[in-house]
Amino acid sequence: MLRQVVLAASRSGGVRKLVETAPYTRSVVKRFVAGESVTDALAVTEQLIADGLLITLDHLGEDTVETAQADTITSRYEELLGRLAENGSGARAEVSVKLTALGQLLDDGEKVALENARRICAAAREAGTTVTLDMEDHTTVDSTLRVLRELREEYPSTGAVIQSYLRRAEEYCAALADEGSRVRLCKGAYSAPDSVAFTGRDEVDKSYVRCMKVLMGGRGHPMLATHDPRLIEIGGSLATLHGREHDAFEYQMLYGIRPNEQRRLAAQGAQVRVYVPYGEQWYGYLMRRLAERPANMGFFLRSLATKS
């Protein structure tokens, strides 16, 4: 119930204004968001790389409603990737892209988003790195997978994301577990009807394990996005069962959540990639993070009530 309330708040203009103007919101946001500028994001990236971690950078923005706005976001990604090329971080840092930020919801939006994504993939190639297409609301899944297929014809390293809360998640994983295919598996942080998604935590977790088995048994590169200790342990066991070395899969975690665990796994030789968001449009992202874990909500509310 709390998750549904928070997700509803993420779409409320009134709640958004209240949160954004609260006296200590910015100090709380810094825990989960690297900052608002490219320079902020790169500073965090350099620090995490020094700690032995890999990075995926997300310029926050979604549900773009104007072509010019989509073009601006695309240019921001090109700027980011140019900066990564300049400082030589491409080998350790990739980018994550939401197609709705690139115009997917506009008239003829799939074509617009595809062309903008191609620009970003080209810049990523120049920077010596890759792109992963974030998965969003369930209504965009088929479109996102079509764009992915188009991009992989020219940029085969383009990564996909599958959400285990979707009832078809295992099917999607099986279709993507090919040689060289990069697939990020996450639980999912969007609201969806029972007809297309599991709603119980246990069901979502069981689906996650089934998907892990498919990906680990496939020929691609699984990217296990979870903070759940049980799922991390199962993922490691499946990697051993299928003879995967540390460089044949990776764990992914969010910036600001379980940083000690990120470093512990990296110190053991595992590949750990941190999802680092930045930008001015942080509200929707923050609310989904709060919806995922009650502990996050408690931290946020305590921080708003104090000057700590």
Is residue 91 within 8 A of residue 129, CB to CB? The reply is yes
Biggest CA–CA distance in the chain, Å, is 52
- Rounded alpha-carbon distances, angstroms, from residue 30 to 98, 203, 296: 21, 32, 13
DSSP letter, residue 221 = E
Helix axes 229-241, 201-217, angle to 10 degrees: 20
Between strands 93-97 and 131-133, the pairing is parallel
Q: Which residue, among 240, 239, 263, has the nearest Cα to 253 in the 3D structure?
A: 263
Sequence-ordered strand ranges (E) for the chain? 54-59, 93-97, 131-133, 160-163, 182-186, 221-225, 250-254, 272-278
- Annotated active-site residue 71? The verdict is no
User: Exactly one of 184, 273, 288, 289 is catalytic; which is it?
Assistant: 184
User: Exactly one of 3, 58, 134, 152 is catalytic; which is it?
Assistant: 134
- Annotated active-site residue 289? The verdict is no
Residues tagged active-site: 134, 184
